[in-house]
A and B are shown apart, each in its own frame.
Chain A
Amino acid sequence: MRVTCKQASHLICADLDGRLRFSQRLALRLHLLACAACVRVKAQMGFLRRAMTAYVNQDSHAVQDKRDRGKAPPEAH
């Protein structure tokens, strides 16, 4: 199965949600081997997940810094 970048963008999403079938996973992997643009998109969509983790943990750093000055800051994931 050959996929276009447009199809690959959907497969990258499906992969993040753990719903790729074996054949789709293979097709995506083959596409990524030959396509730098989609490698970038995959990395950037993966980054969104880490960005949301940081988003949820954001204020604790700032507030904690003010309140508990001197204590080690919480480890960021």
Chain B
Amino acid sequence: MTQNPAIDTAEFARHRPVLYKLALLQLRNNEEAEDVVQETLAAALQGAAGFQGKSAVRTWLVGILKHKIIDHFRRQRAQPEIALDGLGDETSTGDFDALFAADGHYAEQPAPWGNPDAALTESRFQDALQRCLDGLPPNTARAFVMREVMDMDTDDICKELAVTATNCWVLLYRARMSLRLCLEAGWFAGEPAKGKSR
């Protein structure tokens, strides 16, 4: 069996920036994010011969990163003096109440986004998304990335974040509501040429 020639250190270096961004979103600490990315690439290099090319290299690396991040959270939990951030006010959905009138309908109609997928290939849209993700509170960002990037189910997310099922659902709700509002304000409302073309 020969090693896949496409998988080498240079190949991995291409993926490092995104792995680092994902790690940082979840760990919120530069050195710790650097560490898990390093561990991920080391594990990947060691396992490169086993990479079958069935999935994209990026997907494969994100899968390894997921395990490294989960391990990191578990180690943190095992050392109570380095507790994960408390949930704080991340368990309330009260800050979205203003969106709704007393009868439970939208106080203001959600804006149309036109054809939002056209924005996906624009790097300026990715910058806007990054700003919105950076603005999420820590546990909200963790839950959202675990769900939408790491493809974990909610049971596993609750377990790894050590929160109740209800709180876990609230985190995902907060993430989606916040990101929807943030992208609307930060991109779709400010990009008349893009957002309102239809």
The interface of chain A, by Cβ under 8 A from chain B, is: 4-7, 9-10, 13-14, 16-19, 37, 40-41, 43-45, 47-52, 54-64, 67, 74, 76
B135 at interface (Cβ–Cβ under 8 A)?
no
CA distance A49 to B109 in the complex (A): 22
CA distance A61 to B120 in the complex (A): 12
Binary CB contact string for chain B from 178 to 191 against chain A (1 if under 8 A, 0 otherwise): 01100110000000
| B18 and A58 contact, CB distance less than 8 A | yes
Give the total of B residues in contact with A, Cβ under 8 Å.
43
| B153 and A18 contact, CB distance less than 8 A | yes
Secondary structure at the A interface, as helix, strand, loop or mixed, is helix
Q: Give the A-B pair count, Cβ closer than 8 A.
A: 104
Known: A13-B172, A48-B180. A55 touches B126 (CB 8 A): yes
B123 at interface (Cβ–Cβ under 8 A)?
yes
CA distance A76 to B153 in the complex (A): 24
| A56 and B180 contact, CB distance less than 8 A | no
| B172 and A56 contact, CB distance less than 8 A | no
| B148 and A13 contact, CB distance less than 8 A | no
Supply 14 A–B pairs (Cβ within 8 Å), ascending by A. Answer: A7-B104, A13-B169, A13-B172, A40-B113, A44-B183, A45-B180, A47-B116, A48-B180, A48-B183, A50-B117, A50-B120, A54-B120, A58-B18, A60-B18
